[in-house]
Amino acid sequence: MRSTTKVAVASAAAVLMMGTAAYAQKTVELIKARGELVCGVSTGLGGFSVPDSAGKWTGLDVDYCKAVAAAILGDGNKVKFQALTAQQRFTALQSGEVDMLSRNTTWTLTRDTALGLNFTAVTYYDGQGFMVPKKLGVKSAKELDGATVCVQPGTTTELNLADYFRSNNMKFTPVVIENLQEVNAAFFSGRCDVYTTDASGLASIRKNDAPKGKSDDYVILPEIISKEPLGPVVRHGDDQFLDVVKWVIFATVEAEEYGVTSANAAKMATDTKNPGIKRLLGSTPGMGKALGLDEAWAMNAIKAVGNYGEIWERNIPALGLPRGVNNLWSKGGIMYAPPVR
């Protein structure tokens, strides 16, 4: 059997066998019993989720897997990362192969409903862009009529692409390749005129995957053609786990607002006079119990990966991307967490 057929059959089998064991218990209990969180990530997108040569994963998406593991298990390293292409990700989550997805996945109505999934919160506000070779001399996406465009299947990207060209009365030929390495190679060899995906993905691919020293031969066009709110996803039917992932994300944002960092969290928990910080870090109990977790849930998450600002600084500036809308609401951005109380 060949790889795709195998994937298809495996997902069919997985779908068939959904239920019994995995669903008899709640996800949080399951993770505790297993002793690790199984987290679906991309196959390798620098800044978001990428393994190094020793198999150690880093990135913003990876940090949220670690944060959730730390909140539930008290240890941010108890994560098993499962690399998934765009096409594999939803079946893997639906069938219980992974507990959650933290994989630059755009929140859309269909995915949040018909696919049987729940989006938790946004960890990165993004939008779709276009990248072209500089020597093409193109200055705007409006000049791309007739272009050949490299894109990955199973993404919002391929739908937005079709929408954009349709609404601007332009034609395009898609070259649709599932494997990230292959689609990158196709673009950089000149099989396509244009590469399209989330702007963050473009920045990452331009920096990390262009042929050595050739990054500057490629430009990202100014048009952003869509809204891509990216964030972790869980299955329908387990409200507790949905709440846990959602509030771990909010806790990191709240921590940034309060100035709580991985370095000072432990000290803050005892020294602070601020009731909000006390609730967040569990020195005033109650929040952990409400989530069905240890009172140190947020403390552990923050100790493991830091607050939202720290997570950002560790992963994103290296791609050359500004904080922009992803800044706190109080600093001109739209990152905003409901109150932890």
Torsion-angle region of 219 (φ positive above 0: left; ψ -120 to 50: alpha; else: beta): beta
106 lines the binding site for ligand GSH (CB under 6 A): yes
Stretch that binds ligand GSH, among 11-19, 60-68, 195-203, 320-328 (CB under 6 A): 195-203
Residues that bind another protein (CB under 8 A): 2-5, 8-9, 11-12, 15-20, 23, 86-91, 94, 110-111, 113-117, 144-148, 153-154, 158-159, 161-163, 165-166, 171-179, 182-183, 185-186, 189-191, 193, 235-237
The strand pair at 79-83 and 37-41 is best described as: parallel
For residue 18, CA distances in Å to 25, 116, 274 come to: 13, 13, 46
End-to-end CA distance of the chain: 53
What, of another protein, ligand GSH, none, does residue 25 touch, CB below 5 to 8 Å by kind? Answer: none
Answer for which of 42, 91, 184, 307 binds ligand GSH (CB under 6 A) is: 42
42 binds, among ligand GSH, another protein, none (CB under 5 to 8 A by kind): ligand GSH
CA–chain centroid gap for 129, Å, is 17
User: Which among ligand GSH, another protein, none contacts residue 276 (Cβ within 5 to 8 A by kind)?
Assistant: none
Which of 157, 184, 226, 272 forms a contact with ligand GSH (CB under 6 A)? 157
Closest approach, Cβ 22 to another protein, in A, equals 9
Q: Are 82 and 10 in contact (CB under 8 A)?
A: no
Biggest alpha carbon–alpha carbon distance for the chain: 63
What's the one-letter identity of residue 141? A
* Binder among 11, 85, 123, 326 for ligand GSH (CB under 6 A): 85
User: Does 43 participate in binding ligand GSH (rule CB under 6 A)?
Assistant: yes
Q: How far apart, in whole angstroms, are the C-alpha atoms of residue 233 and residue 297?
A: 19
241 binds, among ligand GSH, another protein, none (CB under 5 to 8 A by kind): none
Axis-axis angle for helices 297-305, 60-73 (nearest 10): 150
Fill in the amino acid letter for 127. G
Binds ligand GSH by CB under 6 A, chosen from 180, 242, 301, 340: 180
| CB 26, min distance to another protein, A | 13
Give CA–CA dist 10/91, Å, rounded.
10
Residue 136 burial (CB count, 10 A): 14
155 binds ligand GSH (CB under 6 A): yes
Pairing of strands 228-230, 218-220: unpaired
| Residues that bind ligand GSH in the complex, under the rule CB under 6 A | 42-45, 85-86, 104-106, 152, 155-157, 180, 197-198, 201, 228, 230
